[in-house]
């Protein structure tokens, strides 16, 4: 089976969308290839790196990308916005692609908080993204194979 391609979008592509990209590729890598981007990329948040590395992910190649790098792709099967701002400001894709919104609180608001609060908030976001988004994409993949 050919993998489905999903682009996960948020505003800065610094936390939520990157967390989603890594979880999707880890948990659903046999059916989905995930990418992430932002409508206004800010760079990888250091707390994102820490909490994903806690789960064994290698983020040495991780980088913050722009949605504009993906607009001309005609192989995307799904676009998932994970924040309201990205949903509202997402540019129009020239090729038809299904878009869904699954919003999550932004842990980046706690980037400058004390270490314990920042870690707690980023861990909660990491785990919530996995528990909410993975079942949705699993169901989408099943729908796609059933035609």
Give all strands of the β-sheet with 98-101 in edge-to-edge order. 32-38, 4-10, 78-81, 98-101
Other residues' Cβ atoms within 10 Å of the Cβ of residue 44? 18
Q: How is residue 90 annotated by DSSP?
A: P
Residue 140's alpha-carbon distances to 57, 71, 106, 131, in angstroms, are 25, 22, 25, 15
10 annotated active-site: yes
Structure tokens at 131: 């528990």
In the set 4, 10, 44, 129, the catalytic residue is 10
Structure tokens at 48: 């994102």
| Residues 48, 122: Cα–Cα separation, whole Å | 7
In the set 50, 59, 90, 119, the catalytic residue is 90
In the set 18, 52, 78, 83, the catalytic residue is 83
Structure tokens at 67: 């949605």
Tell me which residues are annotated as active site: 10, 83, 90
């Amino acid at each position: 089976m050919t993998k489905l391609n999903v682009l996960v979008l948020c505003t800065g592509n610094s936390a939520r969308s990157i967390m989603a990209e890594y979880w999707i590729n880890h948990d659903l890598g046999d059916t989905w290839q995930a990418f992430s981007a932002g409508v206004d990329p800010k760079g990888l948040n250091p707390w994102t790196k820490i909490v994903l590395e806690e789960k064994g992910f290698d983020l040495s190649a991780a980088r913050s990308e722009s949605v504009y790098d993906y607009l001309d792709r005609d192989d995307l099967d799904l676009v998932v916005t994970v924040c309201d701002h990205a949903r509202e400001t997402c540019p129009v894709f020239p090729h038809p692609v299904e878009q869904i919104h699954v919003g999550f609180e932004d842990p980046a608001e706690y980037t400058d908080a004390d270490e314990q609060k920042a870690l707690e908030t980023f861990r909660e976001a990491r785990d919530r993204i996995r528990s909410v988004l993975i079942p949705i994409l699993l169901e989408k993949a099943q729908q796609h194979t059933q035609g």
